[in-house]
Structure 1
């Protein structure tokens, strides 16, 4: 039985979708519900026929539903349409605390995998909230909201990365985070720095000017650069 959601059940009749809703946000919600219900394992490919059969149990128009999931970006497919797979976490997945950190003992030592949930990121501040949730659960203090703090964290001297011989960070729903940490969030971040006398106004004024001229990097790009400076930390974007 697929999980229910108040935003989705209004479009169902006896648990089945008779037609995709018209409004984009409603179509997107239904597509996410269908994607999780028919492709419960993230990134696990499924053949076209089997996916269509699964959709037929939930939707009156399984082919149209399959096409909508692809068009709305919740599901990807091979060029020939032979296989489909889900590419993002949905509200029906919900990483539990036990799933946020995974440890595996290997011949090369302890391999620790950390999962960031991009659905929780809608600003620079909430990005650091998510880092603290995942990396700092065992600490009695929180990471400050700065790129220097992120750099220190990835060095592994404290937090969940500490003590691991190999670290992988899986950033789920990265596209959503990238949008949230895009131009608008970056501009707001620089304006906040300019309003704080503790920071170098000339430095951040220049960065703001570059951003507005299309030359500057977004906060998401800056975060990726910090990760790139740590080749011992594998970053997987999903």
Structure 2
């Protein structure tokens, strides 16, 4: 697997990494605008009509169900504004030829998809955003650790660029404003953390786009769906971009 170590690789679009985050109870963090960590995110599509189907066959009602609110979470998650997501990035089961075992995760950064192999030529496909590290890093890894509502600590490089992030130098508690999101899969090789992650994003207009830095993000509802089906030690294949 290869990755660029020049600037510290962040596990999220907002330059988050360097600390091994841990789950932490605490009040919702406020202050920094989540958008301050995003630059050049691709614009989403215009609003979809309230009747009929999405362009590739998924009924709008089904998308609304998949991406509805999750009030029972530790920090209740609001519904996704699906008008900001191209329907081709909605979660669905697709035909996907692979020699990998069921349960394996395949990241396709070139096409902004993450697949979970289901077997018999099928996979669950999720739309994703991909940061700079996601395009530079490829190969085989495994899920070495899983986090729910993890603490995020901004790297020193980010603090130098964005001094307002210094207030979280000792960590931002988990919450809706936390760049790590509701769930994170931390990828390892040979017992070492690679700094590459698959994480939960609450920015629907970034799905299907490249963003400034970070790894691979799924909509929170999709990430929770994948996380629940992914045990530690699961194989992850990151395809070349």
Q: Name the TM-score, length of structure 1 as normaliser.
A: 0.21
Question: Which structure is larger by alpha-carbon Rg, 1 or 2?
Answer: 1
Where relative contact order (Cα < 8 A, 6+ residues apart) is larger, the structure is 2
The structure richer in helix per residue is 1
The structure richer in strand per residue is 2
Q: Name the TM-score, length of structure 2 as normaliser.
A: 0.21
